[in-house]
């Protein structure tokens, strides 16, 4: 009985801290569920950044100009950096990186299902930057004020880089749309394929979202899936108009009364199929990550051997000093 009371008190104090807007740091007391939820969410985010390099990595060697290649290369490298920040943030919660990688490579861990779609043309580099990174920004800006300190701080830098990603993508679209008829068609086709998966990136509707309520209370989430999705549609529709492209949704129209765009129903059946591993590229993505992991074994071994050698050398150097002291 006594233990329950202590836990209750700690939980109350913890919630009060969050309500006051204080940030929770790695060594602070936290409910086990808070820790577990964060390990799940931050590692899923990290995996998404890492797997997210694959669809675009596919086009680096085929970028149409040196300038485009440089920008795409920088963007894909940024995503690697985001993944590493986020793995570090996850580690502060007491889980090892090896364990996280194992979860990804075995297929146990989830990552954003959008990266299970293929990149069929150069225009997809534009559509991904514009829509996928655009959706990521809307998801992540509220996370810069999330309650867990290491996650919030990682998001500040990540969001700055995401806005570069969004711009380089939109600029690709703009160039294609001002080009030949075939180029504009290519851009339209990319929008047609990426629009719906981008909307699904915000997750299931609020009514069916299992984590929303608790996540709002802990300020892991500050806006609901549907609110964020609406914000994305409202921002993106005028951008499509500037490009002269048509969003593939006959129900998309301005609602004067609500002050927002109305839009059509997302195919959630397709979404869940992809989440469950039956998307067009799930197998390919996991195989690519496993291959990279296996082929990188010698680099990890070499780095470890070098670190051990350095440490032995340091120990040898300081040993006589310690004796003398």
User: Can you tell me the distance from the alpha carbon of 246 to that of 240, in angstroms, rounded to the nearest whole number?
Assistant: 7
For residues 165 and 193, which CB has a smaller minimum distance to Fe ion in the complex?
A: 165
For residues 40 and 167, which CB has a smaller minimum distance to Fe ion in the complex?
A: 167
For residues 91 and 162, which CB has a smaller minimum distance to Fe ion in the complex?
A: 162
Q: Is 88 exposed, middle or buried (0-12, 13-18, 19+ CB in 10 A)?
A: middle
Contact 287, 103 (CB under 8 A): no
Residue 85 φ/ψ, nearest 5 degrees: -55, -45
Any idea which residue has 């990688």 for tokens?
101
Q: How far is the CB of 258 from Fe ion (least distance, A)?
A: 30
Q: How far is the CB of 49 from Fe ion (least distance, A)?
A: 5
Q: How far is the CB of 198 from Fe ion (least distance, A)?
A: 13
Nearest to 81 by CA among 126, 105, 46: 46
Q: How far is the CB of 317 from Fe ion (least distance, A)?
A: 41
Q: How many whole angstroms from its chain centre is CA 143?
A: 11
Nearest to 47 by CA among 111, 115, 139: 111
Q: Considering Cα of 121, then 122, then 127, then 129, what sign does the dihedral take?
A: positive
Interface residues toward Fe ion, by CB under 5 A:
49, 79, 82, 133, 162, 165
Contact 152, 144 (CB under 8 A): yes
Please state whether beta strands 260-262 and 253-255 pair in parallel, antiparallel, or not at all (unpaired).
Answer: antiparallel
Contact 159, 112 (CB under 8 A): no
Residue 260 φ/ψ, nearest 5 degrees: -145, 165
Q: How far is the CB of 247 from Fe ion (least distance, A)?
A: 21
Q: How far is the CB of 305 from Fe ion (least distance, A)?
A: 32
- Return the SS3 of 27: coil
For residues 144 and 183, which CB has a smaller minimum distance to Fe ion in the complex?
A: 144
For residues 165 and 184, which CB has a smaller minimum distance to Fe ion in the complex?
A: 165
For residues 162 and 249, which CB has a smaller minimum distance to Fe ion in the complex?
A: 162
For residues 34 and 85, which CB has a smaller minimum distance to Fe ion in the complex?
A: 85
Q: How far is the CB of 42 from Fe ion (least distance, A)?
A: 13
Length of the chain: 325
């Amino acid at each position: 009985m006594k233990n329950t009371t202590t836990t209750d008190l700690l939980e109350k104090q913890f919630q009060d801290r969050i309500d006051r807007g204080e940030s929770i740091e790695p060594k602070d007391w936290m409910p086990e569920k808070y820790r577990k939820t964060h390990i799940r969410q931050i590692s899923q985010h990290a995996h998404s950044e890492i797997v997210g390099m694959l669809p675009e990595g596919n086009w680096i060697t085929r970028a149409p100009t040196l300038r485009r290649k440089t920008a795409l290369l920088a963007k894909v490298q940024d995503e690697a950096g985001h993944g590493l920040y986020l793995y570090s943030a996850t580690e502060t919660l007491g889980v090892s990186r090896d364990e996280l990688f194992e979860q990804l490579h075995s297929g146990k861990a989830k990552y954003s299902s959008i990266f299970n779609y293929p990149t069929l043309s150069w225009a997809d580099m534009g559509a991904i930057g514009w829509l996928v990174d655009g959706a990521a920004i809307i998801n992540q800006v509220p996370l810069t004020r999330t309650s867990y300190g290491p996650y919030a701080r990682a998001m500040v830098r990540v969001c700055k880089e995401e806005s570069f990603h969004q711009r380089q993508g939109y600029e690709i679209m703009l160039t294609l749309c001002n080009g030949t008829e075939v180029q504009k068609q290519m851009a339209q086709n990319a929008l047609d394929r990426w629009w719906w998966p981008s909307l699904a990136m915000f997750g299931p509707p609020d009514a069916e979202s299992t984590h929303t309520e608790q996540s709002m209370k802990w300020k892991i989430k500050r806006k609901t899936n549907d609110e964020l999705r609406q914000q994305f549609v409202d921002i993106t529709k005028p951008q499509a108009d500037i490009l002269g492209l048509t969003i593939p949704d006959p129900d998309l129209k301005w609602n004067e009364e609500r002050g927002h765009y109305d839009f059509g129903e997302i195919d959630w059946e397709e979404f869940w199929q992809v989440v469950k591993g039956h998307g067009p590229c799930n197998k390919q993505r996991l195989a690519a990550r496993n291959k990279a992991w296996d082929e990188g074994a010698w680099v990890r071994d070499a780095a470890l051997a070098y670190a051990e050698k350095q440490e032995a050398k340091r120990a040898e150097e300081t040993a006589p000093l310690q004796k003398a002291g």
